[in-house]
Amino acid sequence: MPGPTPAGRVAYQQELHRALSMKENILITLSAVTPASSVFIIVPTILLGVGGASVLTMLVGGFAAIFVALCYAELSATYPITGGEYTWAARLLGKPVGFAIFMLTLVSAVLIIAVIALGTGEYLGVAWEGLGGKWIGVAVIVVTTFVALLNIRTNAWVTGIFLAVEIAAVAVVAVLGFVHVERGPAEFLHAQVATGGVLANVGVGAVVALVPVALFAYNGYGAAIYYVEETKNAAKNIGRVIIVCLFVTVAVEIIPLAAVVLGAPSMTELLSSDAPMNYFLVARGGSTLNVVVSIGIAIAIINAVIAIILQVARQLFASARDRSWPDPIDRVLSAVHPKLHTPVAATLVVGACAVLAASFVPLDWLITATGAGVVAIYLAVALAALRLRRPGARTSAGYRMPLWPLPPIVVIAMMAYVTYQLAVSALSQLIVAAATIVIGAVYYYAFIHPRRGERWQLADPIVEADDR
């Protein structure tokens, strides 16, 4: 329940255990980003689309991501609340918008758990054919849900160990490329595709069109906010955590890509392969090494599932603490285990929903349902960041973005471009995201707004002892 602050306002009480250092928050957040999985799953789309210029595309995407991260950093430091994006939107853009964003982030995240878990079998199947298939992904969700019930510090170290394995996997790729250099860095400016076994040049437009894919390959660094009420000196440190996570992610994804471009035996064969990273591994390291690295990527996926379940459970916990649901549901979902200091019921609900999605929803439907969600979320974050410095507003205790209001304006422009691209190429994704937002707004007006005197009072962030 909320309690008074020194200034007399109502603030949330400390219910989760503030056990994480800045380093441990970084470990969990990077695990949610899962940069190794991006290298093998998302980055190949860019590589096959523009060849060596994929490195340039990823660099531009990394530069663009800085503006998003700056918005996340100041919002997190100003409102260090475990609910994340919806808590900012509710306070800065209005409660109906806040709940609509909550619904979108919740649904998108649960379905993303299902999507990435279903990819586990693809990589484990390289080593053991019997481990392929949908039910391996379902089993991964079940097991990782119970891991996520452990206290947050234990999870930080579990995910940290797994993170070391996935970093080692991409390090192998980088070393193989840099010790077998076939071409110079000028290749990074050479945009090509393979058509019928022949390389053909493509224009700058192809590079620009793939920048949004690069931007989303880095997505996840903002997840640090979900562990903010379990992080020591959070208001002072959370902005730095987000910025550090972005820069580590960019480095871990770009370096192995550059190595592959420089060290591939043949650009024609690389760009003609359906799985260019695996082609490179087999060509330079042999099939055994490809199997070993594939197991590492499977571990990376499992690690990401743990981290994302952790963050979504905390978002669901925060929504119940804000009294978003009927009272019996609020009481269950906002309960914190007295010894583990984790929202056990919220964690189990997230895991159960992800299991149902992975078991019964076709993969292409899951991808469609999650494709445009991040666009709307980034847009809401940028709009909220634009309102941060209004007269009389709450000020950040630990981080203020440079060049405000430029970063949120840049993000809004980027998301407008991405929305246009999706409207042309994947309209169904936009429709699903818009429908989810509408459902959230309808629920707010049907259930919360009529009871606004007792629900969604939006208390102040917890005041840590060091901040009093």
> Which residue did the predictor score with more confidence, 421 or 54?
54
Q: Which two tokens stand for residue 141?
A: 């969700």
Domain for residue 466, yes or no? Answer: no
Q: How confident is the model at residue 236 (pLDDT cuts 50, 70, 90)?
A: confident
In a domain, 357, yes or no: yes
Tell whether 463 is covered by a domain.
Answer: no
User: 371 pLDDT band (50/70/90 cuts)?
Assistant: confident
**Of the listed ranges 7-21, 271-285, 379-393, the one predicted with least confidence:** 7-21
Asked if residue 468 belongs to a domain, the reply is: no
* CATH assignment of the domain containing 290: 1.20.1740.10
> Is pLDDT at 429 greater than 90 in this prediction?
no
Using alpha carbons, select from 171, 457, 157 the residue that is nearest to residue 307: 157
The closest of 101, 102, 120 to 34, measured between CA atoms, is 120
Position with higher pLDDT, 455 vs 389: 455
Per residue in 103-145, pLDDT tens? 999 999 999 999 889 888 888 877 777 777 788 999 999 999 9
Q: Considering the domain boundaries, does residue 40 fall inside one? A: yes
- Over the stretch 301-351, which tens digit does the pLDDT of each residue have? 999 999 999 999 999 999 999 999 999 999 999 999 999 999 999 999 999
| Rounded distance between C-alpha atoms, residue 65 and residue 418, angstroms | 14
The 10s digit of each residue's pLDDT in 283-308 is 999 999 999 998 998 999 999 999 99
What number is the average pLDDT over the span 165-170? 93
**Closest alpha carbon to 140 in 303, 290, 29:** 303
Lowest-confidence segment of 3-7, 25-29, 178-182 by average pLDDT: 3-7
pLDDT band at residue 173, thresholds of 50, 70 and 90?
Answer: very high
Contact 80, 234 (CB under 8 A): yes
For residues 185-216, one letter each, b for 16 or more C-beta atoms within 10 angstroms of the residue's C-beta and e for the rest, the string is eebbebbbbbeeeeeeebeeebbebbbbbbbb
Instruction: Categorize the per-residue pLDDT at 5 as very low, low, confident or very high, splitting at 50, 70 and 90.
Output: very low
CA distance 42 to 3: 45
Identify the pLDDT of residue 88.
95
Residue 62 has pLDDT above 90, yes or no: yes
Please, what is the average pLDDT of the chain? 90
On the question of pLDDT at 437 being above 90, the answer is yes
Residue 7 has pLDDT above 60, yes or no: no
pLDDT value at residue 6: 45
Both tokens assigned to 199: 């390389």
> How confident is the model at residue 9, as a pLDDT?
62
Specify the higher pLDDT residue, 463 or 169.
169
| Residue 1 within any structural domain of the chain | no
Residue 241 backbone zone (phi > 0: left; psi -120 to 50: alpha; other: beta) = alpha
State the pLDDT at residue 466: 56
Is pLDDT at 394 greater than 50 in this prediction?
yes
Which string of DSSP letters, residue by residue, matches 102-160? HHHHHHHHHHHHHHHHHTHHHHHHHH-GGG-SHHHHHHHHHHHHHHHTS-HHHHHHHHH
* The residue to which tokens 């390389």 are assigned: 199
Q: Are 418 and 211 in contact (CB under 8 A)?
A: no
Burial 253-279 (b: 16+ CB within 10 A, else e): bbbbbbbbbbbbeebeebbbbeebbbb
What pLDDT is stored for residue 119 in this prediction? 84
The pLDDT score that the predictor gives to residue 445 is 97
| Domain total in the chain | 1
Burial class (CB in 10 A: 0-12, 13-18, 19+), 130: exposed
Mean pLDDT of all residues in 1-25? 75
Q: Is residue 242 part of a domain?
A: yes
**Strand, helix or coil for residue 459:** coil
Domain that holds residue 349: 20-390+398-455
Q: Which residue has the higher pLDDT, 126 or 408?
A: 408
**Where does the pLDDT of residue 468 fall: very low under 50, low under 70, confident under 90, or very high at 90 and above?**
very low
Both tokens assigned to 210: 């793939």
Q: Is residue 234 part of a domain?
A: yes
Distances (CA, A) of 457 to 95, 319, 408, 449, 464: 10, 12, 27, 11, 21
